[in-house]
Amino acid sequence: MNTGTNEIKTVLEVKSLNKSFNGLKALDNVSFKTQLGETLVIIGPSGSGKTLLLKTMLGIILQDSGDIFIDGLPKEKVQETAPNFLDRFGMLFQQSALFDSMTVWENIGFKDLKKPDADKNIIKKEVIKLLDKVGLGPEVADLYPSELSGGMQKRVGLARAFSGDPEFLLLDEPTAGLDPIMSNSISQLIKQQTKEHKTTSIVISSDLESARKISNNIMMLHQGAIVWHGPASKLEETENPFIRQFIHKSAKGPIAVLTE
Ligand SMILES: Nc1ncnc2c1ncn2[C@@H]1O[C@H](COP(=O)(O)OP(=O)(O)OP(=O)(O)O)[C@@H](O)[C@H]1O
């Protein structure tokens, strides 16, 4: 009997996605589903297609073939009826991708500031609450991104992604380059946000400790293809050679290690 407490509902689906650059396959028949409230972490070696997959899902790069479904509808259909459908997504790109010419609060309030009836004072107040959520004080609001450390920029990027409590979070390497304490606190924030708002999240992470902490499921890409997709709890026990090599940081295995 479905009690309604563990609702299984596919909210994002990628079907047979292919993309090549100069004849080289960068995404190779990628198919997967994510359920409401799930956090899927994508792992894989450098150049395996992780960022490209997120960019294709968002329409920043167009696929050669394959489809993306949101709530069971093709993305193009969703876009037709709701041109601002990307507002349903909170995104964090690598290097945080903050706008250098805008202050921290303008960066975080960006989505709301675009609205015709935007009230700057209300938006700034909301931003200060978000800053507090990611562990930054109100004094940071009027600074420019260049005045912040890398860790602070990540937090600001995360606050921007959380802004408006989006249904979906797509985060590219949220803990890369951070010290272990900062990385742990960012992982906690992602967990808290996804739990409190039942957010469906896809997170690219090379930080396996963070991946284990935040994920329900893990998917590994290699040369644009999915080589493993399963529950995070099975990561340690799987015999999959790609996973074994990746988690043991071994030079031996199916993943080629580049040498000079
Ligand atoms: N706009 C583009 N033009 C040409 N090639 C591209 C483009 N975007 C991605 N690629 C290629 O697609 C492949 C996958 O790139 P992608 O950035 O997705 O890798 P990744 O797994 O995110 O790597 P990393 O962990 O290093 O960020 C790479 O070979 C890359 O060179």
* Residue owning the nearest CA to atom 30 of ligand 1: 47
Q: How far is CA 47 from each of CA 52, 127, 210, 225, rounded to the nearest angstrom?
A: 9, 35, 20, 11
* Residue owning the nearest CA to atom 1 of ligand 1: 61
Q: Which amino acid belongs to residue 257?
A: V
47 lines ligand 1 (CB under 6 A): yes
Name which of 211, 206, 176, 219 is nearest 190 in CA terms: 211
The two structure tokens encoding residue 205: 């992470």
pLDDT in tens, the chain (260 residues): 444 455 689 999 999 999 999 999 999 999 999 999 999 999 999 999 999 999 999 988 999 999 999 999 999 999 898 878 888 999 998 876 788 999 999 999 988 888 888 899 999 999 999 999 888 999 999 999 999 988 889 899 999 999 988 999 999 999 887 888 888 988 998 999 899 999 999 999 988 888 999 999 999 999 999 999 999 999 999 999 999 999 988 888 899 876 54
pLDDT score at 207: 87
C-alpha of residue 51 to centroid of ligand 1, in Å: 7
pLDDT score at 258: 67
pLDDT score at 259: 57
C-alpha of residue 254 to centroid of ligand 1, in Å: 20
Q: Which amino acid belongs to residue 91?
A: M
| DSSP per position, 121-173 | HHHHHHHHHHHHHTT--GGGTTS-GGGS-HHHHHHHHHHHHHTT--SEEEEE-
CATH code: domain 10-101+165-248 is: 3.40.50.300
- Predicted TM-score (pTM) of the model is 0.91
- ipTM confidence: 0.97
Query: What is the pairing mode between strands 73-74 and 65-70?
Result: antiparallel
Q: How far is CA 126 from each of CA 38, 120, 159, rounded to the nearest angstrom?
A: 26, 10, 11
Residue 204 CA: nearest ligand 1 atom is 22
Query: What is the pairing mode between strands 217-222 and 39-43?
Result: parallel
Please choose from 30, 41, 42, 51 the residue to mutate so as to test ligand 1's pocket, defined by most ligand atoms within 8 A of CB.
51
Element (H, E) at 195: helix 180-197
Element (H, E) at 31: strand 24-35
How would you list the strands of the sheet with 200-204, edge to edge?
89-92, 168-172, 200-204, 39-43, 217-222, 225-231
49 lines ligand 1 (CB under 6 A): yes
pLDDT score at 64: 97
Query: What is the pairing mode between strands 168-172 and 89-92?
Result: parallel
